[in-house]
Amino acid sequence: MPTPGLDGYAPPWLKPEHDDLAELARDFFTDQVLPHAERLERQGHPDREHYRRAGELGLLGLSVPEEYGGGGGDFTHEAVLLHEQTMCGEGSLGLAVHSGIVTGYLRHYGTEEQKRRWLPGLCDGDLVGAIAMTEPGGGSDLQAIRTRAVRDGDDYVVTGSKTFITNGALADLLILAVKTDTSQGASGISLLVCEIGDDTPGFQRGRLIDKIGLHANDTAELFFDEMRVPVTHLLGGAENEGSGFFQMMAQLPQERLVIGVGAVAAMQRAVELAVAYAKERTAFGKPLIAHQNTRMVLAECATRTRASRIFLDDCIARHSRGELDVPTAAMAKLWLTEGQCEVVDKCLQIFGGYGYTTEYPIARMYADARVQKIYGGTNEIMKELIARVL
Ligand SMILES: Cc1cc2nc3c(=O)[nH]c(=O)nc-3n(C[C@H](O)[C@H](O)[C@H](O)COP(=O)(O)OP(=O)(O)OC[C@H]3O[C@@H](n4cnc5c(N)ncnc54)[C@H](O)[C@@H]3O)c2cc1C
């Protein structure tokens, strides 16, 4: 059923295969993951088994070439999967990071050997992926990271810490931003692909971070005390030492688009839920939707959602052509996440007191939305990136 206000609209990039994928994803989230939602929220992380199941169904690594075990699609397929996950209200699996970001780094920069070593495991769900840039001392100023990797024979020896790492409790494969040259800013940064496990010497997972939302997805601190990583695990191979910052800058537009996909899906879901509630709930002898203020608010939310959807689809189409530039991706992240928070807040209001109770999905959506303005580069940093080209 189309979202109210989006009737008759279809993304220009949509093909019949996307509909089949959407149905498969919807069935997986609804039948296999959502029945466990309360338990997953209590445990604070997804079930590893659900990654494996997603892998078996071909839902992981949709944009990874088939020769590496992926779906052979492109970003549009990842977008459909992430859209359905949010529309279903599934928030445990860190697919945005695992498939939307980590596989992208390996695909773009990995050597042939690196792709063959890690992509199949990420695509079949045997490996859970994460990316660690942010440190306790700061996340916005990436050039100032302090985790260092010192060359010692055929290894790097890594010391430092990272925080707020999505999928951090389960991750087996970590793309880790380190300084290989501490005398340099951006050009001293490299990305190491680290195989991590609870018995990896020099590696420790910290506590699960207690957040106001996204309760079923793990966000963790990670500590490195002389952890050894083979030099062959430098992303892109040894000749790329020091190019990590530029690799991150090139991949961040996709990360921001992934966030935008979640933002628009959340707006669509909020409008659907609020319209349905406004039709069923009565006050002063008539349904809420018959009251002028409710009608006006829902009209505003539906309009904002439709305009957001069109902007997002334009960005997805640009990205599929390899034309999504940094300021446009920043505009998308900024405007779509601001819109998400605004629309979800207005829709919550329509639920009255029930909107403040966790029994109602809109309450969880409100808490989950807030971080969208923070991660992937804060919205203040997005404005900075946009302003630079004005
Ligand atoms: C749930 C969650 C999941 C996350 N997942 C990941 C992950 O998987 N991997 C990862 O690496 N990180 C992750 N992060 C971290 C996130 O990307 C950072 O929190 C974010 O980049 C901001 O960094 P910070 O928290 O250190 O804030 P700071 O950089 O300390 O910024 C604090 C405030 O100052 C503002 N500010 C900073 N610089 C400027 C400036 N130049 N001009 C104007 N204002 C400025 C910021 O906008 C912000 O409002 C996650 C965070 C959360 C909460």
Please write the tens of the pLDDT for every residue from 218-262: 999 999 999 999 999 999 998 889 999 999 999 999 999 999 999
Average pLDDT, the chain: 97
- Summarised one tens digit per residue, pLDDT across range 42-89 is 999 999 999 999 999 999 999 999 999 999 999 999 999 999 999 999
Q: Residue 259 Cα, ligand 1 centroid: separation in angstroms?
A: 14
- Measured from the Cα of 132, ligand 1's closest atom is 11
pLDDT of 1 strictly over 80: no
Mutate to test the pocket of ligand 1, among 375, 385, 386, 388 (most ligand atoms within 8 A of CB): 375
CB 100 within 8 A of CB 258: yes
Distance 135 CA to ligand 1 centre (A): 9
136 CA distance to ligand 1 middle (Å): 10
Q: Is the pLDDT of residue 90 over 90?
A: yes
Q: Which residues contact 92 (CB under 8 A, 6 or more apart)?
A: 33, 36, 37, 40, 41, 45, 46, 47, 50, 216, 217
Question: Which residue ranges have their beta carbon within 6 Å of ligand 1?
Answer: 97, 131-134, 138-140, 164-166, 211, 214, 219, 371, 374-375, 377-378, 380-381, 384
Q: Tell me the residue ranges of DSSP E strands in 32-172.
A: 129-132, 148-152, 155-166
Instruction: State how far the Cα of 216 lies from the Cα of 231, in Å rounded to an integer.
Output: 35
Stated pTM of the model: 0.97
Q: What is the mean pLDDT of residues 186-203?
A: 97
Model pLDDT, residue 368: 98
User: Which of 378, 380, 383, 388 to mutate for ligand 1's pocket (most ligand atoms within 8 Å of CB)?
Assistant: 378
Segment 131-172, tens digit of pLDDT: 999 999 999 999 999 999 999 999 999 999 999 999 999 999
- Atom from ligand 1 closest to the CA of residue 141: 29
Alpha-carbon torsion (29, 24, 273, 99), positive or negative: positive
Residues designated as active site:
255
Q: How far apart are CA 156 and CA 177, in angstroms?
A: 13
pLDDT given at position 238: 82
